[in-house]
Structure 1
Amino acid sequence: MKDNYQKLFQDFTFKSGVHVKNRLMMAPMTTFSADENDYVSKDELDYYRERANGVGTIVTACAYVSKNGKGFDGQMGIDHDDKIEGLSKLADVIHSGGAKGVVQLYHGGRLAVPRLIPNEETVSASTVAPLEDRGFYSIKQSPRALTTEEVYEIITDFGEATRRAIEAGFDGVELHGASGYLIQQFVSPHSNKRNDEFENRLLFSLKLIEEVKKVINEYAEKPFLVGYRFSPEEPETPGITMKETFELIDELIRADIDYLHIATTDAWANPRRGIVSEKSRTELIAEYINGRIPLVGVGSIHTPKDAALLVEKGKTDFVAIGRALIVDPHWVEKVQNHEEESISKQLKQNEQHQAVIPTPLWKLILEIEGWVPIER
């Protein structure tokens, strides 16, 4: 292994006490492959098992915490105790390769898919329709604003989901506060027009963390971490800019969580507006954090050089790898074993089973041009 890759393989202990063997994470990526009841499927177990041997941490595909928060076909749920058995099998699969398992907790809010939720009624911080498609579906209908009581019910749902993750044997949860979903809808000046206590746009996130940590204190018998994923900017005006993100970061650090995880498709993208800088958003965020909390960087990390550069130049503490691990499940082991030249850079059209990719995910890889590198 090359010297400049050594930092990627340093172990780390989070403040919660969770110990990981290296600085490489599998990024949370939707598989669309839960079974018809939104339980973890055998195909998902096989998919994660194949990728659990190298990375120090696997952050699972997002799991919805409330029935009205489902955002994808084939999305796994963590909304009911019946789901614990399958989640436990997933935790065991992840641990079998030496990785730690973190469940990403999610509510789609106004980006939930109407046909997948009760009464086809989407909900959000306020009655503000999404301006653009942010995922695999285009959601155009206006949501109903949640009542204050309903907001607290969803906070309880996140807490109950955390309890289920603990009982299933996971090592942590990550709050999905990115990509335009419900948590971000409360943070955003575009989508939060409330006139109750939650007009404080950071309060929902802080209440979630408070509830999750209360549940951990009550139920966890081993170290259990809390992470938070955020999108640093929004395209809408008004919307989240780096200014709002820095304010959020300060509050999340005060809330004493284990790590922050940037959500971006390109780790080196520059700020959209509000800050004029030659530096990337990743660099600016790392500078602002200044070592106060571990930072996970992500976005178009395809080669070990990409990952090493993100740690060295981007100053992140961890690197989350997404599509590169879909293409080559053994990316990390190959780097560690001095075999980086053998890393697969694209899939072939007959390699679904060799790469252990569930069929729903494989179909999307074939359909969405440019999403995952594939030989056409």
Structure 2
Amino acid sequence: MVTYDEAFKFKSGITVKNRLFMSPMTTLQSFFDGTITTDELNYYAERANGVGAVITGVANVEDGGKGWEGELSIADDVYLPGLTKLASTIKNQGARAILQIFDAGRMSTPEALNGKQAVSASAVAAQHGNGKAKSAVPREMTVDDIHATIAAFGEATRRAIQAGFDGVELHGANLYLIQQFFSPHSNRRTDEYGGSREKRYTFIKELLASVFAAVDQYADRPFLVGYRFSPEEFTEPGITLDDTFYLVDQLAETRLDYLHVSLSNYDRKSRSTEYQDKSILAYLHDYLAGRKPLIGVGGVRNRQDVTGLLQNAEFAAVGQQLLVDPTWVQKLETGHDADMVTADFVDAIEYTHFNRPLYNFLVARYASEPNF
């Protein structure tokens, strides 16, 4: 088992000073046109000091893939000045800067798209686990739409390189577009992009090719590419852990630097009765068997959580704890565990300084169900 203070060199050549990453989190702090704000820069600066890397909240790769208002964008070169400030702000604190990029697909809100219809692999609305609609019915993407989105991810990668980031993370989790193409719930296509697991993986395969083509063409230094995924869906049909083992097998054969599993708690058990002997994270780590480094996440609040998570992953991503406890890593490093924030998050946000958009979002978040 690794310890949190060990350095690591990725396949691409990027080195991180420790095994603690700041997890990507939605904060709604960007301007509504997708440019970064001073509040957002200060937010990252305050939390980057101590972690090995910061994975930013998502940046949309095209206007039609915007998920919500207040979201960062990397859809055009006009955003490069702000993105450059973000990369340098994080790196100036001694952390690696990784930009998470995505397309929301059918999870886009009408407000974010100015009333336009969202798109997805198929014209099927997202659902809660109880079968109730979670979003409006999207428009099924044409093959030309698909090719344009794949190209947009490549262009976003180019911009991330030019802005000075150390890498990008492809957000293939939390019900967004990349996951929508792999899911049998959202992908009912009968062409080369849908049907069997192999065909539902086609979009991801072509997306990775576009991203790595941009890396090969534009990166003049080591540049990292990671991939985040959700291991299970709560709908029927939906992604199962067996589907995810297939996905992991495919991703393990690529040039990706790491895989990042999205979990509400790092010790969460599978929904499947077939996989109850250990946590999802443990099953995935054992299945990977060292083929790719794995980032675990979910409920890390103290030293014991870090130790417990790193039994089944190479890296521990810390999200909500850093929200309410920005100097948490320094407390961990100096043995000031007694000073760590231990209050429930719903209470802790009341005495943590946040700007109004982020505060309002957090209040609403803790009053609703999580989006996994």
With the shorter chain as reference, the TM-score category is over 0.9
Deviation at 1:119, TM superposition (A): 4.8
Q: How is 1:65-76 mapped onto 2 (pairs within 5 angstroms)?
A: 65-76=61-72
CA contact (8 A) 1:295 1:316 kept: yes
Deviation at 1:339, TM superposition (A): 1.3
Deviation at 1:211, TM superposition (A): 0.6
- What residue number does 1:183 align with? 178
Deviation at 1:255, TM superposition (A): 1.4
Deviation at 1:359, TM superposition (A): 2.1
Distance 1:273 1:145, change over 3 A: same
- What residue number does 1:276 align with? 275
Amino acid at match of 1:331: W
**Cα distance in 2 between the residues matched to 1:253 and 1:318:** 17
Amino acid at match of 1:53: N
**Structure 1 runs of 4+ with >6 Å offset:** none
Q: How is 1:207-226 mapped onto 2 (pairs within 5 angstroms)?
A: 207-226=206-225
Deviation at 1:342, TM superposition (A): 1.1
**Cα distance in 2 between the residues matched to 1:139 and 1:246:** 27
- What residue number does 1:195 align with? 190
1:58 maps onto 2:54 in alignment? yes
**Cα distance in 1 between the residues matched to 2:70 and 2:109:** 12
Task: Name the SS of the counterpart of 2:175 in structure 1.
Answer: coil
Unaligned runs of 5+ in 1: 372-376
Query: For 1:191-227, what per-residue CA distance to the aligned partner results, in whole angstroms no more than 9, with x for missing partners?
Result: 1111221111111111111110000011011110110
Aligned to 2:23, which of 19, 22, 27? 27
CA contact (8 A) 1:133 1:139 kept: no
**Cα distance in 2 between the residues matched to 1:367 and 1:115:** 17
**Cα distance in 2 between the residues matched to 1:370 and 1:281:** 26
CA contact (8 A) 1:253 1:293 kept: yes
Amino acid at match of 1:359: R
Query: For 1:244-278, what per-residue CA distance to the aligned partner results, in whole angstroms no more than 9, with x for missing partners?
Result: 00000010111121000000111111111262322
**Cα distance in 2 between the residues matched to 1:26 and 1:344:** 16
Task: Name the SS of the counterpart of 2:136 in structure 1.
Answer: coil
**Cα distance in 1 between the residues matched to 2:86 and 2:135:** 34
- What residue number does 2:13 align with? 17
CA contact (8 A) 1:127 1:144 kept: yes
CA contact (8 A) 1:47 1:358 kept: no
Identity rate, percent: 42
Aligned to 1:142, which of 133, 137, 144? 137
**Cα distance in 2 between the residues matched to 1:196 and 1:298:** 35
CA contact (8 A) 2:23 2:54 kept: yes
Distance 1:109 1:336, change over 3 A: same
Amino acid at match of 2:11: K
Amino acid at match of 1:123: V
- What residue number does 1:365 align with? 362
Number of residue pairs matched by the alignment: 360
Aligned to 1:107, which of 93, 99, 103? 103
**Cα distance in 2 between the residues matched to 1:59 and 1:342:** 25
Q: How is 1:151-162 mapped onto 2 (pairs within 5 angstroms)?
A: 151-162=146-157
**Cα distance in 2 between the residues matched to 1:358 and 1:291:** 41
CA contact (8 A) 1:148 1:196 kept: no
**Cα distance in 2 between the residues matched to 1:274 and 1:295:** 24
TM-score normalised to the size of structure 2? 0.93
Amino acid at match of 1:291: G
Q: How is 1:1-376 mapped onto 2 (pairs within 5 angstroms)?
A: 7-117=3-113, 119-132=115-128, 139-199=134-194, 200-273=199-272, 275-312=274-311, 315-346=312-343, 348=348, 351-353=351-353, 357-369=354-366
Deviation at 1:368, TM superposition (A): 4.0
**Cα distance in 2 between the residues matched to 1:66 and 1:133:** 29
**Cα distance in 1 between the residues matched to 2:272 and 2:55:** 30
TM-score normalised to the size of structure 1? 0.92
Deviation at 1:366, TM superposition (A): 3.2
- What residue number does 1:374 align with? none
